[in-house]
């Protein structure tokens, strides 16, 4: 059960994170605007259950969080203005690549531990296929990111 203040806090946190993506004044104004909507959602007389009201407030905050990716462009603010320069830029796909490789190794290790001819073997092999694909995609993304950074293609 999500209590009302906890939902409000969680939604407020998400909104604050979302507004950090926006440039100074815009972010501050949006934060004021969006947090001011939370009491209206959490006291909405049209929704009888407090759990549903809390869930709606969280959904609202998640939507707002997602919208900040499109908001600068929609408001005519160039995308690069909204980004803080990163000291250590995070490579594209490196975390998914590591996660997928670890998952892949785990599943393959599991497959080796199971005796051949076990009825679980086909299921494990099928399960190993998806992280394998994900690992390949993530590694390709990482290699492309690395090549961009090395200066072959300018990075944005």
Residue 123's contacts (CB-CB under 8 Å, 6 or more residues apart) are none
67 touches other proteins by CB under 8 A: yes
Residue 41 φ/ψ region, left for φ over 0, alpha for ψ in the -120 to 50 degree band, beta for the rest: alpha
**Of the ranges 53-61, 78-86, 88-96, 129-137, which one interacts with other proteins (CB under 8 A)?**
53-61
Nearer to other proteins, 52 or 59 (CB): 59
**Of the ranges 68-76, 124-132, 134-142, 144-152, which one interacts with other proteins (CB under 8 A)?**
68-76
Nearer to other proteins, 69 or 83 (CB): 69
Helices then strands (H, E): number in the chain? 6, 0
70 touches other proteins by CB under 8 A: yes
3-class DSSP state for residue 69?
coil
Out of 24, 45, 46, 151, the residue judged to bind other proteins by CB under 8 A: 46
Nearest-angstrom CA–CA distance, 24 and 57: 25
Nearest-angstrom CA–CA distance, 111 and 123: 10
For other proteins, the binding residues (CB under 8 A) are: 32-37, 39-41, 43-44, 46, 59-67, 70-71, 73-76
């Amino acid at each position: 059960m999500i209590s009302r203040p906890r939902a409000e806090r969680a939604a407020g946190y998400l909104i604050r994170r979302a507004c950090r993506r926006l440039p100074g004044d815009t972010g501050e104004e949006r934060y004021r605007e969006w947090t001011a909507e939370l009491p209206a959602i959490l006291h909405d007389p049209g929704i009888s259950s407090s759990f549903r009201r809390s869930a709606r407030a969280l959904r609202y905050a998640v939507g707002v969080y997602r919208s900040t990716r499109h908001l600068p462009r929609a408001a005519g603010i160039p995308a690069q203005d909204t980004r803080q320069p990163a000291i250590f830029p995070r490579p594209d796909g490196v975390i998914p690549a590591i996660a997928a490789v670890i998952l892949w190794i785990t599943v393959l290790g599991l497959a080796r531990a199971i005796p051949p001819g076990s009825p679980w073997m086909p299921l494990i092999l099928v399960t190993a296929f998806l992280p394998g694909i994900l690992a390949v995609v993530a590694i390709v993304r990482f290699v492309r990111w690395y090549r961009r950074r090395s200066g072959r293609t300018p990075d944005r």
